[in-house]
Amino acid sequence: MLFPIGDDNTERRSTPIVTWVLIGINVLVYVLLQGASGENPFTYAYSVVPYEITHNVDLVGDFRIGNGLVRLFNGPYPIWLTILSAMFMHGGLSHIGGNMLYLWIFGDNVEDNMGKVKFLIFYLLCGILASAAHILVAPNSRVPSLGASGAIAGVLGAYLIMFPHNSVRVIAFYQIIPLPAIIVVGLWGLLQFINGFGSLGQGGASGGVAYMAHVGGFVAGIVLCFFFRNRSLSLQEQRQVYRTQFYRERDH
């Protein structure tokens, strides 16, 4: 298991304001509106419930889910707005902590390349498409789904395409080692595909994790980054060109 703790930001040219704001909003929603456990009426009202989206109905009351019950409350109108609200809510400290760490590590580089406005649009689109993927494989599920994971999976997909050789520091075998992003993010993506397609019989979710939302967000990020990224040379590429020209002129 590779646990990322940082990456190479030496080529970053701007302050990642949007990334910081997104992290701040997620934390504030969790602390002020959800509470420490994330178990309250607000959470259940504003989470994505696939059945509500596919049937355009706001479910209210107790519903049997597996061996337990889930109580749903009045959500926003129209109900599909939960696709946006759920993107900023989390189910517990480990959930929000892990998501925000990944956004902190990988979001700034992608934002730096795309620019602030385009990055925000990209992030929201990835989150929406991630929820769409989950709803597609579990259209009748009454299990609430929430979290920034789908949108962040999109950020990881873009990072994989735009910065495949960036050094990512990970904890592995009880030590910190640098690995190229193509390995770290690539393995993460592969794991989501394995778990996602392996859980199709369970509605694309396993162990409380909506893996197909991760898959949908990851694929969306890979595809959308070709439309949102800055196609001009990165600073690293520019320096390589200048370095090559310098040595050619020196040799002459």
Residue 243: band (very low, low, confident or very high) from pLDDT cuts 50, 70, 90: very low
Q: Tens digits of per-residue pLDDT, 4-40?
A: 999 998 888 899 999 999 999 999 999 999 986 666 8
**Sign for the pseudo-dihedral over CA of 31, 170, 167, 212:** negative
Residue 75: band (very low, low, confident or very high) from pLDDT cuts 50, 70, 90: confident
CATH code, 106: 1.20.1540.10
Q: Tens digits of per-residue pLDDT, 38-56?
A: 668 888 899 999 999 999 9
pTM, whole model, 2 decimals? Answer: 0.88
Quickly list DSSP for 25-61: HHHHIIIIII-SS--SHHHHHHSB-HHHHHHT----E
Q: Which pLDDT score is estimated for 204?
A: 56
Domain count within the chain: 1
Pick from 17, 110, 90, 1: nearest CA to 47: 90
Residue 6 β-bridge partners: 169
Q: Is the CB of residue 17 less than 8 Å from the CB of residue 87?
A: no
Q: Tens digits of per-residue pLDDT, 95-125?
A: 999 999 999 999 999 999 999 999 999 999 9
Q: Which pLDDT score is estimated for 39?
A: 67
Q: Tens digits of per-residue pLDDT, 190-233?
A: 999 999 988 887 765 666 789 999 999 999 999 999 999 987 74
Q: Which pLDDT score is estimated for 62?
A: 74
Q: Which pLDDT score is estimated for 241?
A: 42
Q: Collapsing DSSP states into helix, strand and coil, what is residue 72?
A: strand
Assess whether pLDDT exceeds 50 at residue 245.
no
Q: Which pLDDT score is estimated for 198?
A: 87
Query: Structural domain of residue 29, as residue ranges?
Result: 3-251
Q: Tens digits of per-residue pLDDT, 147-206?
A: 999 999 999 999 999 999 999 999 998 899 999 999 999 999 999 999 998 888 776 566
